Structure 1
Amino acid sequence: MKTELINGVSQGTLEIISRKVYDKQIAERILQNEFTAVGLCQGDVMSILVASDIAEKTSEVVVSEITGMCPQHMTCLGVFGDVTSVEESLAAIESRFNKK
């Protein structure tokens, strides 16, 4: 599982992500600058689903799939929230997948 944290996300990046987020309600929240950090997780579908569950159970974050060119394929997981919450969620995800 690959993870990345974007802290203090730029407006252009938020716009790109909002176009790729499957859940349009979350896309709207992204455009309203509701989140100060974005965590990105990339892996196979099973790992993405496990990471999503871990993220939400770890801290107060919102998760959504981020689609690629072909919308039926889940390519990435977005973890949205404040910096501390996103960092905590990514740390828990990394801990789980680094044990393997």
Structure 2
Amino acid sequence: MLKSELINGVSQGTLGIISRKIGDKKLAEQILQNNFTAVGLCQGDVVSILIASDIAEKTSSVVVSEVNGICPQHIICLAIFGDVTSVEASLAAIESRLNTK
């Protein structure tokens, strides 16, 4: 099961925390330099997160990235960056596809 949340009006501090957890430093810099107004966070197993990432990018104009953490159960996190409408549309599409099975 995939868990997802929306942060509307995301703060620079939160973007900073997330950017430090992203392995791709070029993307981390991009996140800090853009004016993203929302972040969608999805947590789940590797397969679900890969599918969620693909759905998000195909649904809206968003930037996606894995958020690194330490989890022995192979649960990972996906961050979806963009404007509120785009992130909401991506999360709705992901939830529609992955949470109803």
TM-score w.r.t. length of structure 1: 0.90
| Correspondence list, 1:50-65, <5 A | 50-65=51-66
Q: State the SS of the aligned residue for 2:61.
A: coil
Question: Where do 5+ consecutive residues of structure 2 fail to align?
Answer: none
Q: State the SS of the aligned residue for 1:4.
A: strand
Partners in 2 of 1:50 and 1:26 — Cα distance?
Answer: 20
Q: Which residue of structure 2 lines up, in the alignment, with residue 8 of structure 1? A: 9
Q: Which residue of structure 2 lines up, in the alignment, with residue 26 of structure 1? A: 27
Residues 20-39 of structure 1, C-alpha deviation per residue, up to 9 Å, x if partnerless? 01221221122124311100
- Root mean square deviation of aligned Cα: 1.5
Shift of 1:9: 0.8
Residues 15-73 of structure 1, C-alpha deviation per residue, up to 9 Å, x if partnerless? 10010012212211221243111000000000000000000000100111000047xx6
Q: Which residue of structure 1 lines up, in the alignment, with residue 82 of structure 2? A: 81
1:91 partnered with 2:92: yes
Shift of 1:74: 6.6
Give the count of matched residue pairs: 98
Residues 54-100 of structure 1, C-alpha deviation per residue, up to 9 Å, x if partnerless? 00000100111000047xx6720010111100000000000011220
Q: Which residue of structure 2 lines up, in the alignment, with residue 35 of structure 1? A: 36
Question: Where do 5+ consecutive residues of structure 1 fail to align?
Answer: none
Preserved CA contact (<8 Å) 1:67 1:74 = no
Q: Which runs of 4+ in 1 moved over 6 A?
A: none
Q: State the SS of the aligned residue for 1:22.
A: coil
TM-score w.r.t. length of structure 2: 0.89
Partners in 2 of 1:58 and 1:22 — Cα distance?
Answer: 24
